[in-house]
Structure 1
């Protein structure tokens, strides 16, 4: 059966307006639920945590404050990596195994268009080949949920959905309306997506060869890693990014997001809390444990670790980003070497990344949408941000 793709995106106005993350919900009949489902109209993440996992996160637990409800956390990588995968291929392996074991009838994932490797094309994959065609992240806004009407029309009852935080919050909000017997949710951490035009500006501003970039990622060694068509890897230190030119490249929705770790997924697979070269797996509930166990024998593991102190680096980054400070490349390279040796690692690196983005995003919402600040920022994010001195007035209570 041919892979099903989403219908073209309508051009009418989206209810979240400039804050819309183009998750795809509003391109379906489920748009009627947008007021309750959209993360940027009504923030319900703490309420939805309780319905998805049986409880909300414990704010007095440092791990749950940062990383959400979970029962297990580990670093992993495939014993036999998938060729062409961005990492070792754990996400693809889970999806393929679930199809092959008949746990699900389809997988919501994102391939790319024939014309553009970075242009997302949401599909319902039904075969391993269709899943593999979706490997490698697409760092652009993607309407994953635009396939929800196709899910209903197909009559399928068991579905795996792969997505990022804003997509998953909307999906959880309408889950009961989908007519499914079982929904599995496999999430990836997500931060700082861009429009396709924004991505092009980032590539042209940062990479030595933007036209040959296959994929890239901001990594634990405080460098952006670009993989090129010829197999070569290019690295650029975080501190060498042209922040003064890139401050406005990220989508307003991403600048207003406080769900970096995909809190509502059953299982999360990323890299931010793992050593370099490994992936970070977070099991949030029993459904996530089933998915984890299904591929466990394909993986090798090591415990998560935490080393260093992030707080001074985060505090220094706040005014630097705010003022668009850009270092000369020689200074950025030197700072990168020093930070890599003495900077935060493992879960402390993950906290560094969360703190840096939450403080930045809090200021963005406060300055641009002050009327939304109190209700839009979750309690856990307020706790995290309150550790730092911000250049504006004191935090609202």
Structure 2
């Protein structure tokens, strides 16, 4: 039976099946809602099955790199030798999408542009031209219904698709992949953590940056600072430790506070920043399809091996307690801490582990406090092993 024949659209006003944990990935806005019970990352975690399906095996928990970063063939750092104008960094993701179309590898690219009225309101599209791909450059740090455009696939003539997305979207996509009217699917993943609703984003900007209305994009970077780019070209940075934690502690989406797929375990190729030194992007090739994608642009990249320096553990443990108590440092002290840890703190892959440890411990505590009945089945084995290395506050 075809997916749409089994689909049962939700009645108007009904909550999505994951209710308050819904990440608004868009699956339930398509006929593939029929698969939501086994596709939604917040109803059932299926990491081992997803990895087996996508990569031919699940991660080796005794291999420290795979424990943290998932199944992979290769990791490297890179930047485009000729950056794309207007890209958030050098534009590797956008260039991959363009090359996938130009070479005929795919018929379309699932990516996210923005509303004509608001830079931060995401609008998913099936891009058929390089120009459409380039219109989607720069991250949209809000919840995005990427998978709703799956509804456009039947009858579109699209047989080969490159899908760009974050972990919760890719988990759902992998679960329905075999039912899609496609001959081939390539998945380009983005590491993702701490998305917000559009309203939550406004709260974050207003409490953090000098001119919220002019922010074009921002990112939490490896130098332990948040980098903001303004529409006039001005750059502004704020130390992690200078955030208004009491105000922001509850601004992040519940789906993000219960997510353990920071590194996008189901993607073929992942492009982000968290495992690279400052100024470079971190690429993780998980399987042969990922290698095929990277081959499209590798001769245009300045590449280098991944590196790792420092020890994250003390900083993670201190951060757990500081976040739980919602401590807010004076700006001068936050700047000083940021300067010191940026120079002597974890870098490269060790920074990636720092970020994973910090978020996994925080999220495990959040799930155990807010959804205790689901905690045991929801927190995957690899996350439990990482979390066990730290002391968590009492529930």
Give TM-score scaled by structure 1 length: 0.96
For these two proteins, the number of residue pairs brought into alignment is: 385
Which of 112, 119, 124 aligns to 1:117? It is 119
Q: In terms of mean alpha carbon deviation, does 16-25 or 155-164 score higher?
A: 155-164
2:44 partner SS: coil
Which of 262, 273, 276 aligns to 2:275? It is 273
Q: In terms of mean alpha carbon deviation, does 360-369 or 150-159 score higher?
A: 150-159
- Cross-structure match for 1:6: none
1:73 partner SS: strand
Asked if the contact 2:153/2:181 (under 8 Å) is kept, the reply is no
- Cross-structure match for 2:323: 321
> What stretches of structure 1 of length at least 5 have no aligned partner?
1-8
- Cross-structure match for 1:3: none
Q: In structure 2, do the counterparts of structure 1 residues 59 and 201 end up closer, same or farther at CA, with 3 Å as the change threshold?
A: same
Q: Within the alignment, does 1:89 sit opposite 2:91 as a pair?
A: yes
Asked if the contact 2:245/2:328 (under 8 Å) is kept, the reply is yes
Asked if the contact 1:10/1:27 (under 8 Å) is kept, the reply is no
Quote the Cα distance in structure 1 between the aligned partners of 2:367 and 2:152. Answer: 35
- Cross-structure match for 1:228: 230
Q: Within the alignment, does 1:209 sit opposite 2:211 as a pair?
A: yes
Quote the Cα distance in structure 2 between the aligned partners of 1:14 and 1:155. Answer: 30
Asked if the contact 2:170/2:267 (under 8 Å) is kept, the reply is yes
- Cross-structure match for 1:5: none
- Cross-structure match for 1:368: 370
Asked if the contact 2:113/2:124 (under 8 Å) is kept, the reply is yes
Quote the Cα distance in structure 2 between the aligned partners of 1:70 and 1:61. Answer: 11
> What stretches of structure 2 of length at least 5 have no aligned partner?
1-10
2:155 partner SS: helix
Q: Within the alignment, does 1:25 sit opposite 2:27 as a pair?
A: yes
Quote the Cα distance in structure 1 between the aligned partners of 2:290 and 2:329. Answer: 42
- Cross-structure match for 2:239: 237
Give deviations 1:332-379, integer Å, cap 9, x for gaps: 000011101110000000000000000000000000001111110110
Q: In terms of mean alpha carbon deviation, does 145-154 or 127-136 score higher?
A: 145-154
Q: CA deviation at 1:13?
A: 1.7
Give deviations 1:189-216, integer Å, cap 9, x for gaps: 0000000000000000000000000000
Q: Within the alignment, does 1:16 sit opposite 2:5 as a pair?
A: no
Quote the Cα distance in structure 1 between the aligned partners of 2:359 and 2:250. Answer: 14
Alignment of 1:372-391 (within 5 A): 372-391=374-393
Which of 141, 144, 148 aligns to 1:142? It is 144
Which of 357, 360, 368 aligns to 1:358? It is 360
Asked if the contact 2:225/2:338 (under 8 Å) is kept, the reply is yes
Give TM-score scaled by structure 2 length: 0.96
- Cross-structure match for 2:64: 62
Quote the Cα distance in structure 2 between the aligned partners of 1:295 and 1:201. Answer: 38
Q: CA deviation at 1:227?
A: 0.3
